[in-house]
């Protein structure tokens, strides 16, 4: 198990290193200049002064030197200084924004599980009925409708016909839990609906397969009702692949949360990243991207390690 875990950790480290190179390179390919954004109108200072300022913040350094400095900042824990906001580190701004994204992601995943597992189970139990066809159609809608489009529809028509107003000011969970949930439940449901589609389909497939296993037939032969067989025996065994799917959906949770934060004005990683891209704040964008990559890679690593713990044969494959 130790060798298996070390191999997976090494692979995760290599992927994170390649992501850092890709993010760093892409930021340098973007048009625009962080210094120009910071100073506003470039005509107010001389070109010589502009070059001097670029030297001071390191924009004129060779790209390998800039990359090594950034990696050093990552290992130091500060993740570098923001190029736009003086005196503020990248880590400080991420720490202030990340809890909002994590909360939205957790609520979205809980919504997805609450929608996907029951509907997938009902669809399997009522196979080929009108209810089954309806639930399968709903899952196809969840897979087909982009979350940003659904969010826009909710905001536009909710505002016009239902009196819904997107929150203007974020309410912290620690200060007012009820107010926080009141402003987070709609984006959480939108995020959860998109994620629940895959869970519905996977649950339906695994429940259908488990219903024909020997242990299910044995339970029926003992006189147990179909309801008891499904709840106590079939669903519990069918959820193992679903849990694996949930772990692998971390990337979709994170990316969906970022988009919905921008739509609903939530001060999370999504809005922070968009603001940093607009301002050409290289270090901030790089920090946000590397944190997002680390979350996705770390979640997939935990899923891989759980395979080796659940099934010892995986460790030697």
pLDDT at residue 176, as a whole number: 79
State residue 312's pLDDT score: 56
Two structure tokens written together for 162 = 């239902």
Report pLDDT for 27: 75
Angle, CA of 309, 238 and 303, to the nearest 5°: 30
Reported as a pLDDT band with limits 50, 70 and 90, residue 87 is confident
Residue 40 has pLDDT above 60, yes or no: no
**DSSP string for residues in 256-313:** HHHHHHHHHT--SHHHHHHHHHHTT-HHHHHHHHHHHHHHHHHHHHHHHHHHHHH-GG
pLDDT-based confidence at 39, cuts 50/70/90? Answer: low
**Which pLDDT tens digit goes with each residue over 147-169?**
888 888 888 888 888 877 777 77
CATH number belonging to domain 98-274: 1.10.3720.10
Q: In this structure, what token pair is assigned to residue 170? A: 């974020």
Give me the residues paired with residue 89 across strands: 81
Q: Is the pTM of this model over 0.85?
A: no
What is the C-alpha to C-alpha distance for residues 150 and 260, in angstroms, rounded to an integer? 10
- The arithmetic mean of pLDDT across residues 207-234, rounded, is 75
Tell me the range of 111-115, 240-244, 289-293 where mean pLDDT is highest. 111-115
> Sorting pLDDT into bands at 50, 70 and 90, what band is 277?
confident
Higher pLDDT, 119 or 174: 119
Lowest mean pLDDT among 112-126, 235-249, 303-317: 303-317
Q: What would the mean pLDDT of 265-281 be, rounded to a whole number?
A: 82
Of 78-82, 154-158, 251-255, which one has max mean pLDDT? 154-158
pLDDT of residue 308: 58
Query: What is the residue extent of each domain of the chain?
Result: 1-84+279-317, 98-274
In the predicted model, is pLDDT for residue 191 greater than 60? yes
Residue 41 pLDDT grade (very low, low, confident, very high; cuts 50, 70, 90):
very low
Mean predicted lDDT score pLDDT of the chain:
78
Are the C-beta atoms of 191 and 147 separated by less than 8 Å? yes
At residue 42, does pLDDT exceed 50?
Answer: no
Question: Rounded to 5 degrees, what angle do the CA atoms 204, 210, 216 make?
Answer: 135
What are all long-range contacts of 7-14, with beta carbons under 8 Å and residues at least 24 apart? Answer: 8/301, 8/304, 8/305, 9/301, 12/297, 12/298, 12/300, 12/301
pLDDT of residue 38: 60
Percent with pLDDT over 90 in the chain = 0
What pLDDT score was predicted for residue 310? 53
- Average pLDDT (18-24) is 86
Contact between 89 and 214 (Cβ < 8 Å): no
The model's confidence at residue 63, banded by pLDDT at 50, 70 and 90, is confident
CA distance 160 to 211: 47
pLDDT of residue 297: 80
């Amino acid at each position: 198990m130790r060798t298996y875990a070390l191999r997976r950790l090494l692979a995760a480290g290599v992927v994170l290193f390649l992501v850092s190179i890709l993010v760093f390179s892409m930021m340098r390919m973007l048009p625009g200049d962080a210094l120009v954004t910071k100073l506003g109108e470039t005509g107010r200072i001389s070109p010589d002064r502009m070059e001097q300022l670029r030297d001071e913040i390191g924009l004129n350094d060779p790209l390998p030197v800039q990359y090594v400095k950034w990696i050093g900042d990552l290992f130091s824990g500060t993740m570098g200084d923001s190029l736009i906001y003086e005196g503020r580190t990248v880590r400080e701004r991420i720490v202030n924004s990340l809890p909002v994204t994590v909360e939205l992601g957790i609520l979205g995943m809980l919504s997805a599980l609450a929608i996907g597992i029951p509907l997938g189970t009902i669809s399997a139990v009522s196979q080929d009925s009108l209810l089954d066809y309806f639930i399968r159609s709903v899952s196809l809608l969840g897979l087909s409708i982009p979350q940003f489009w659904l969010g826009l529809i909710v905001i536009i028509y909710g505002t016009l016909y239902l009196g819904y107003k997107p929150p203007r000011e974020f309410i912290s969970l620690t200060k007012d839990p009820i107010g926080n949930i009141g402003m987070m439940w709609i984006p959480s449901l939108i995020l959860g609906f998109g994620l629940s589609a895959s869970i519905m389909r996977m649950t339906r497939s695994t429940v259908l397969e488990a219903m024909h296993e020997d242990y299910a037939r044995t339970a029926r032969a003992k006189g147990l009702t179909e309801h008891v067989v499904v709840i106590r025996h079939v669903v519990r065994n069918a959820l193992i692949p679903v849990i694996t799917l949930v772990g692998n959906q971390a990337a979709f949770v994170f990316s969906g949360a970022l988009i919905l934060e921008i739509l609903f004005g939530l001060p999370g990683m999504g809005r922070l990243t968009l603001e940093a891209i607009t301002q050409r704040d290289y270090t901030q964008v790089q920090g946000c991207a590397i944190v997002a990559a680390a979350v996705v890679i770390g979640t997939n690593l935990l899923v891989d390690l759980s395979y080796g713990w659940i099934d010892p044969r995986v460790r030697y494959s």
